[in-house]
Amino acid sequence: MLSFIKSFLPTSYFLPGWLILDTNPVDSLLQGLVGACGISVLCSLMRVHFFLVEERWSVESDESDEGRKRRTPCHERRTKAGLTGMLQFFIVTGILSVVGSRVASLVVLEFCLRSVSGLITSGQEYRTCLQQVLVQSQFSVGCALSCSLYFLHEGASQRWLCLLLAAALSWFLARQATRLMHHVMALYKLHSSQRYCGVCISLLTSGQCLLPMLCRTLILIFTVAVVASVSIINQHFLSATEAVRFWTPLTICYTLLVVYMQDAQHHASGSEVVLNTVMVRLGGLMVLMLTVGRWADVLHILMCFLGEASCLIPTMDLLDAASSQVSESP
């Protein structure tokens, strides 16, 4: 049925080849939906983590009521924007659906290299750097899930059904994570003090395990995504010479980007360095694709600019919270 409908869609007779999606539009939409749900889960759990850390500091330092009121409005304002959050979710879903698996693979490889090098050289600020990496990884997580699904379901006879099941499960997890976030923001103080809510009591006793759990999950996601990314990129080469011609400038470009951004982090902080990092690394990828890529890759990188912006701009408060823990961490 889907093949019959697809036969009536515009093809190369009407559109240039670089404007045609890599896969069936339904499959691309489902992959984008899974990626957007993954971003939503990560963002919700990170907000819960920062809220618990702030509450723990408030208790340990015996903070005054005036100080608590000054600290909490940022989180409450962010979590009440339901319409804005849904709009952002659908924008990210559309962008991940349009971005091809090749560019998504490049984004994953670049992020993994930059994150590993940043964590290795972080020194005593490892925890702060780790939290910043988790917040900055939102769009990269969406790309990782999208290209992993493309790789794992490639050639499957009922691909759309597998992706539909994955999208349904992802939607359920995203909704549960969002409900947990709203529950914690609204009722954690009351329930943790009265001790009659199982969820809040669990977070009170083992909330410090939330960050390590997120780290292990993302390590698993990006491990699979790296394998999928290398395989996807190599599929576009007909010989070893073409592969070397692509991977050599790509490796050099990534290395220079990592060195530049590690140096830039010592001269700027907070949201400034994050925005500079996004512009530099995606700009470098665009220049590289103009040299050894295709027009479709350039178009998809432009879409990645929008995707990164739609993920990072609404979560600047989380980046500021991660940066502010440098001097307050226990």
Between 88 and 57, residue with greater pLDDT: 88
pLDDT of residue 9: 44
DSSP assignment of 82-119: HHHHHHHHHHHHHHHHHS-HHHHHHHHHHHHHHHHHHH
Per-residue pLDDT, 192: 78
Whole-number pLDDT of residue 283: 73
Please state which of the ranges 1-10, 157-166, 274-283, 302-311 shows the lowest mean pLDDT: 1-10
Task: Please spell the DSSP secondary structure of 31-77, one letter per residue.
Answer: HHHHHHHHHHHHHHHHHHHHHHHHHHHHHHHT--HHHHHHHSHHHHH
- pLDDT, tens digit, 9 for 90 and up, residues 17-32: 444 556 688 889 999 9
In this prediction, residue 116 carries a pLDDT of 83
Indicate whether 330 pLDDT > 80: no
CA distances from 238 to 197, 243, 250 (A): 60, 8, 18
Over residues 125-157, the pLDDT tens digits come to 778 888 888 988 999 999 999 999 999 888 777
Q: What's the Rg (C-alpha) of the chain?
A: 21
> pTM, whole model, 2 decimals?
0.83
Range of 76-85, 150-159, 214-223 with top mean pLDDT: 214-223
- The pLDDT of 238-252, averaged and rounded, is 68
Check residues 273 and 125 and name the one with the higher pLDDT: 125
- The confidence band for 68, taking pLDDT boundaries of 50, 70 and 90, is very low
Lowest mean pLDDT among 49-63, 222-236, 276-290, 291-305: 276-290
- At residue 287, does pLDDT exceed 90? no
- 59 or 87, higher pLDDT: 87
Using the 8-state DSSP alphabet, how is residue 271 labeled?
H
CB 141 within 8 A of CB 325: no
- Is residue 201 scored above 90 in pLDDT? no
